[in-house]
Structure 1
Amino acid sequence: MKKIFAIIALAGALLNVQAQGKLKIGHINSNDLLMIMPERAAAEKTLQQEAQKLEEQLKVMTTEYQNKVADFQANAATMSELIKQTKAQEIGDLEKRIQEFQASAQETLQKKEQELLEPIIEKARKAIEEVAKEHGYTYILDTGTGAVLYQPESDDILPLVKQKLGIQ
């Protein structure tokens, strides 16, 4: 419903601008732009390093868990009931810690990705804005989001933004 209202509002604004003067519409796939920005590769490398650290920690925890389970299974026959309960509780607690760590690691990586991409997205947004102003565009539509239902003839400004950012 909100998308319909947004489309109607955009259509109304376009008609209003068209009635007042020349309408110039450009489009860009912002996802394509972000993928070719050099800063993106550095951000991905940093994110991969962070993921590798977390994966190594998880591997240590998993190995500890597997060792405890193997020890429990190998020695269960000779353990008293109290020791069995204690060992089973330790294994259960470790399993719970592993699950919590996995959830926490996923959240940490998502936050880190957002933190790394935010300045890159802002730089791209500013470059798009500058190109739009420099070349007299009334509107720039983002074809990368899938939000454009109808796209009249327009200019793809990706080459201009790449030039602005010094990307080959």
Structure 2
Amino acid sequence: MKHFIWIALLTMSLTSFAQTKVGTVNNEYILSKMPEIKDVEEKLKVYSAKLDSTIQVKYEAYQVVVEEYNQKEQEGMNDVMKKIKQKEIIDLEEDLKNLQQNSSKMLQIQQDEYLRPLYTKIGRALEAIVKEEGYTQIFDENNSIIYIDPKFDLTLKVLERLGIEVQENAEVVPEEKPGN
């Protein structure tokens, strides 16, 4: 009898494993091997140099104002002029700081824009393989799921159990209960 139970459990386990086919993909490695990446890297270098040039121009303008302030202070600047120049220097420092912070964000946005078509290309190839070979789930190199066969996705069932009605291509809407 024990053998029968073990065989039944083994058969059920194998059956449930047969229903799913899991794979992994390293998008970053694929991206690094794509010939288009060299063009993206070159575009990013040019864009980065342009941002650096803008920062350098602002920095040079800042340096001129600071040198001017130091020269006039030695010559005997009145208190009103000192405060005006100090405010100008502080404003330029703040502008420079903001420009440096924004340039990092702008570079990231530009990189995302350049890489988006490559990731789309990878995604299409992956989707074709998933359909051809019957994968149900694909994880990326960080163990984040990037594809799941809809028949194994329990999202709609959970929403239904919670009493939340979902219409296709619509936002999740809580079901109205009588008396509310």
Counterparts of 1:73 and 1:91 in 2: how far apart (Å)? 11
Q: Which residue of 1 aligns with 2:135?
A: 137
1:93 Cα deviation (Å)?
A: 1.2
| 1:68 maps onto 2:65 in alignment | yes
| 1:50 maps onto 2:50 in alignment | no
Q: What are the residue-to-residue correspondences of 1:8-157 with 2, within 5 Å?
A: 18-19=15-16, 21=18, 23-78=20-75, 79-142=77-140, 144-147=141-144
8 Å CA contact 1:17, 1:23 repeated in 2: no
Count of residue pairs the alignment pairs up: 133
- Name the Cα RMSD after superposition: 2.5
Amino acid across the alignment from 2:123: R
1:36 Cα deviation (Å)?
A: 1.1
Deviations 1:82-113 (A, max 9, x none): 22122111111111111121122122112111
The structure, 1 or 2, with the larger RCO (C-alpha pairs under 8 Å, 6+ apart) is 1
1:54 Cα deviation (Å)?
A: 0.8
Counterparts of 1:105 and 1:29 in 2: how far apart (Å)? 29
Relative to the length of structure 2, the TM-score reads 0.64
What percentage of aligned pairs have identical amino acids?
A: 29
Amino acid across the alignment from 2:26: N
Q: Secondary structure at the residue paired with 1:145?
A: coil
Deviations 1:112-155 (A, max 9, x none): 1111111111110110111232234343332x22448xxxxxxx
Q: Where does the alignment leave 5 or more consecutive residues of structure 2 unmatched?
A: 1-11, 146-180
Q: Where does the alignment leave 5 or more consecutive residues of structure 1 unmatched?
A: 1-14, 149-168
Larger Rg: 2
Q: Which residue of 2 aligns with 1:156?
A: none
Amino acid across the alignment from 1:97: D
Q: Secondary structure at the residue paired with 1:42?
A: helix
Deviations 1:24-70 (A, max 9, x none): 44332121111111222212221221111010010011111112212
8 Å CA contact 1:28, 1:140 repeated in 2: yes
Counterparts of 1:76 and 1:100 in 2: how far apart (Å)? 27
Amino acid across the alignment from 2:83: Q
Q: Secondary structure at the residue paired with 1:62?
A: helix
Q: Secondary structure at the residue paired with 1:97?
A: helix
